[in-house]
Amino acid sequence: MAHAFGGAKAPAILRNSDLDADAVQQARIDLAACFRMAAKLGLHEGICNHLSFVVPGRDDLFLVNPYGWAFAEITASRLLVCDFHGNVVAGEGVPEATAFYIHARVHKNVPRARAAFHTHMPNATALAMLEGPPLVWAGQTALKFYGRTVVDEEYGGLALDEREGDRIATSIGEADIVFMKNHGVMVLGPTIAEAWDDLYYLERACEVQRLAMTMNRPLKVVPPEMARRTYEQMREGDRESARLHLESVKRILMQEAPDFAR
């Protein structure tokens, strides 16, 4: 299902030493932690899904996983640095083709999307396969995403060119969560921690909704005014909660799989 990116050119000459900055190394470690925990929790699919983050200090470059490596194998140093033109400017290998065409176009066309996490995680993807709205505002966890989602109804097959990448980027609008019908989900965030936090809780919200839907009883939907109020309560401390969530992930991994940070 995965495709090697054929447009990558020879490694470009680095234009300055920005890629050696402490902030870049920390981003590598944080992003690698997300890959490892996503694998541990079953939020990945073979070698097909991808997480990316715009390189700190360089709005023209992004970190992404290399083609052919499972999430459970990703380390901080294994991540690639790519530009928006198909050049791999740091790292060994090339990105998966759809990773390049989706993530390069999203980061270029939606600058607020510093982090872009695209997965086929099972519960969220299952809801994206149904007619109608995927996520129903019936569970407290779901309310974290109230007013933050969009549904991309126009499945366009594999994203193997800039046209499909641009179409996906255009579909995002002001949303942070994109349910890609017949495909999967994409989570966008200003930081790696916030994207991770949303990815994790989105799958949990979808999991409990799917479970409730099997009980052959109507879902009890939260009234809009209460849904909005609860969402606002959650957002007050969301950034700090997300930061602490990722810190806990890294502590767990340092005990179980410390090689992620190398």
Q: Give tens-digit pLDDT for 61-80.
A: 999 999 999 999 999 999 99
Beta bridge partners of 9: 87
At 5 the pLDDT is: 60
User: Rounded to an integer, what is the distance from CA 133 to the centroid of its chain?
Assistant: 20
pLDDT in tens, 201-241: 999 999 999 999 999 999 999 999 999 999 999 999 999 99
| Torsion region of 56: left, alpha or beta (phi above 0 gives left; psi -120 to 50 gives alpha) | beta
| Torsion of Cα atoms, 254 then 255 then 256 then 259, to 10° | 30
CA distances from 14 to 90, 137, 230 (A): 8, 47, 47
Nearest to 65 by CA among 83, 79, 54: 79
State the pLDDT confidence band at 251, using cuts at 50, 70 and 90.
very high
Q: 4 falls in which pLDDT band (50, 70, 90)?
A: low
pLDDT recorded at residue 1: 60
Complete DSSP assignment for 92-142: SS-BBHHHHHHHHHHHHH-TT-SEEEEE--HHHHHHHTSSS-SS-TTSTGG
Q: What are the tens digits of pLDDT across the range 7-47?
A: 655 454 454 457 889 999 999 999 999 999 999 999 999 99
Give me the residue label for tokens 């939020």.
43
- Phi/psi region, residue 93 (left: phi>0; alpha: psi -120 to 50; beta: rest), is left
**Does residue 175 contact residue 202 with C-beta atoms inside 8 Å?**
no
Those residues whose C-beta lies under 8 Å from the C-beta of residue 214, and which sit 6 or more positions away, are: none
pLDDT confidence of residue 134: 97
